[in-house]
Amino acid sequence: MKNYLRTVLVITMLSVTTFLKAQVPVLSSYPSAPSVLFLDFDGHAVQNTGWNIDTTAIICGGSGLDNTKITEIFNRVAEDYRPFNINVTTDSAQYHAAPATQRMRVIVTVSSSWYGSAGGVAFVGSFTWGDGTPCFVFSALLNYNTKNISEAVAHEAGHTLNLYHQATYNGSCGLTSQYNYGLGSGEIGWAPIMGVGYYQNLTVWHNGPNPYGCTNYQNELDILTTMNGFGYRNDDHAASFGSATVATFASNQFNVNGVVERNTDQDMIRFTQPAVGRFLLSAIPYNVGTGNSGSNLDLQVTLYNSSQTQLNVYNPGTLLSSVIDSTLNPGVYYLRIEGRGNVYAPNYASLGSYSLQGNFMAGALPLHRLELRGQLNGDLHQLNWFIEADEEVTRQVVEISVDGRNFTPVTEPAAALRAFTYRPAISSSVQYRLHVTFDNGREYYSNIVTLRKSGSHPRPRIINTVVSSNAVEVSSPGSNYNYSLYDLNGKRLVQGKLETGSNNIIVPGITGGMYMIRFTNGADQWIDKFVKQ
């Protein structure tokens, strides 16, 4: 029997929207790929498929979306499928030219009364049936929201590619939800595409349990690339120093685009710094808006010198993008680009496309050393720094950031001072850097240091980050904190409420490896990691 799955949507309110009729923009993500995922926005009559109970056609109206929204949805879905040898397209000619067993039509339509109240519906495995059976996403029931429609399109298409839902279980192997809603918030808040991605920014493929058993792990990358007639797209940049892609400065700038296709992929880029000067690199994952909206890739950049010695690793913990701002001597340097996980998302499917922009600003370096250090002392943040330079310091500004991207001044110490201590007004983790100006007019930034939440805002903490039994000891400053413990695949093992003081959290059947525990008081949340030996 053919199985179908639907994405159920709890509808709180439907807005009144005028259905727009316009020529759908012709877009394709990978035209050379033999397999096709066709996003159909302008309506379709469905006949002679598993959806038709008789010879009566199912008449599907258009999506009710304008071309701006259609383009955003296309771009979001294309990025979800970027690592694979498949063309996401709005071009019906591409669909009809593809082999019948290598294509799927996703009908985005306002017409849902024939089926019922759901975000979308699909037959599992229908991509290879070859009989024209489509899947559906119901735009009106999703309130014409581009983010939600995009998530539903990728999700329903995933069903046609032999994927079931990602679910969650408790430590006793009891099903807690048919859908995995993910973890976290902000730019790096994460959820599986085959779970519920409506409420998180970073939605990716996942290796976790489906609803049919806590041990029924669904390795989605393997299923997608082995059961549907297509695999990964070809690697675009080699992983070795000797075969690194050469990036050449033109007008003191270079640009490189790439794709991280696999979780083992490492793209090596080689550039030559022409003289002593400032090197700036912006490494940005593909996105459709601010906060790297729609990105699937959490970027990590590693810088090496000509001897292939690692100089630094750049991976801001709360951002998906990375930035290098450093003064380099002339010579050859290498950049290693790869996807990484974060405190919420596993490393498993941090995949997708990215762009690099390198900039060089020439100038002799009066600065030999500019190093910022920081530490907590109770609820105080203590900063000190070292400056070794041929020129005289005329101005220095301590700057703070809560997102790792936007910095604002905290204080402007006298030019001779090399330390600053204060009690911050905010309780979240923050980043600091030092902005120094010399008497020749040149300006430089120090390294960035991160200080976690201060002692004036207590929170639960793991006593030992390495445990040898099935008990995890946690110290809690109060009884208003809840905890949830997860493995790195996002499977919840145990959850509960903490008591004031020492708590022993028993995790039945825990095996060796790394785990995450999330604490929350309803307003704030914290993530700690520990290793079970």
CATH number, domain of 432, equals 2.60.40.10
For residues 147 and 28, membership in a common domain is answered with yes
Instruction: Tell me whether residue 108 is in a domain.
Output: yes
> Residue 41: pLDDT above 50?
yes
Report d(CA 176, CA 179) in Å as an integer. Answer: 9
For residues 372 and 354, membership in a common domain is answered with no
Residue 14 confidence (pLDDT): 32
Instruction: Tell me whether residue 324 is in a domain.
Output: yes
> Residue 532: pLDDT above 70?
yes
For residues 220 and 87, membership in a common domain is answered with yes
| Nearby residues of 469 by Cβ (< 8 Å), 6 or more positions away | none
For residues 24 and 79, membership in a common domain is answered with yes
Residue 22 confidence (pLDDT): 53
Residue 2 confidence (pLDDT): 55
For residues 40 and 173, membership in a common domain is answered with yes
Pairing of strands 471-476, 466-467: unpaired
Pairing of strands 471-476, 461-462: antiparallel
Residue 299 confidence (pLDDT): 96
Structural domains of the chain, count = 4
Instruction: Tell me whether residue 190 is in a domain.
Output: yes
Q: Give mean pLDDT, residues 339-364.
A: 91
Instruction: Tell me whether residue 236 is in a domain.
Output: no
For residues 509 and 446, membership in a common domain is answered with no
pTM above 0.85, yes or no: no
Residue 19 confidence (pLDDT): 39
For residues 260 and 219, membership in a common domain is answered with no
For residues 43 and 135, membership in a common domain is answered with yes
> Residue 240: pLDDT above 90?
yes
Over residues 431-452, the pLDDT tens digits come to 899 999 988 888 888 888 877 6
DSSP H helical ranges for 50-139: 67-80, 92-97
∠ at Cα 429 (426, 431), nearest 5°? Answer: 100
Lowest-pLDDT choice from 203-207, 297-301, 495-499? 495-499
For residues 49 and 97, membership in a common domain is answered with yes
Instruction: Please state, as a whole number, how many other Cβ atoms lie within 10 Å of the Cβ of residue 330.
Output: 12
Q: What is the DSSP string of 352-398?
A: EEEEEEEEEEE----EEEEEEEEEEETTEEEEEEEEEESSPEEEEEE
Element (DSSP H or E) covering residue 347: none
Tell me which of 122 and 22 has the higher pLDDT: 122
Q: Among 334, 362, 390, identify where a domain stops.
A: 362
Tell me which of 61 and 474 has the higher pLDDT: 61
Over residues 303-314, the pLDDT tens digits come to 999 999 999 999
Tell me which of 419 and 430 has the higher pLDDT: 419
Pairing of strands 430-438, 449-451: antiparallel
Q: Among 335, 362, 389, identify where a domain stops.
A: 362
Helix then strand then coil, in percent of the chain rounded to 5, is 10, 40, 50
CATH code where residue 496 lies: 2.60.40.1220
Instruction: Tell me whether residue 31 is in a domain.
Output: yes
**Beta bridge partner(s), residue 281:** 324, 358
Report d(CA 211, CA 407) in Å as an integer. Answer: 44
Q: Among 451, 482, 513, identify where a domain stops.
A: 451
Residue 365 confidence (pLDDT): 57
Instruction: Tell me whether residue 456 is in a domain.
Output: no
Tell me which of 17 and 114 has the higher pLDDT: 114
Instruction: Tell me whether residue 240 is in a domain.
Output: no
For residues 181 and 144, membership in a common domain is answered with yes
- Is residue 338 within 8 Å of 266, Cβ to Cβ? yes
Residue span of the structural domain in which 393 resides = 367-451
List the structure tokens of 438: 């010399």
Of the candidates 255, 223, 184, 221, the one whose C-alpha atom is nearest the C-alpha of residue 352 is 221
CATH code where residue 13 lies: 3.40.390
Range picked from 141-145, 168-172, 367-371, 456-460 for highest mean pLDDT: 141-145
Exposed, middle or buried: residue 246 (CB in 10 Å: 0-12, 13-18, 19+)?
exposed
Average pLDDT, the chain: 89
Over residues 250-292, the pLDDT tens digits come to 999 999 999 999 999 999 999 999 998 889 999 999 999 988 9
Tell me which of 474 and 269 has the higher pLDDT: 269
CATH code where residue 306 lies: 2.60.120.380
For residues 196 and 306, membership in a common domain is answered with no
For residues 357 and 390, membership in a common domain is answered with no
Instruction: Tell me whether residue 238 is in a domain.
Output: no
Report d(CA 1, CA 52) in Å as an integer. Answer: 15
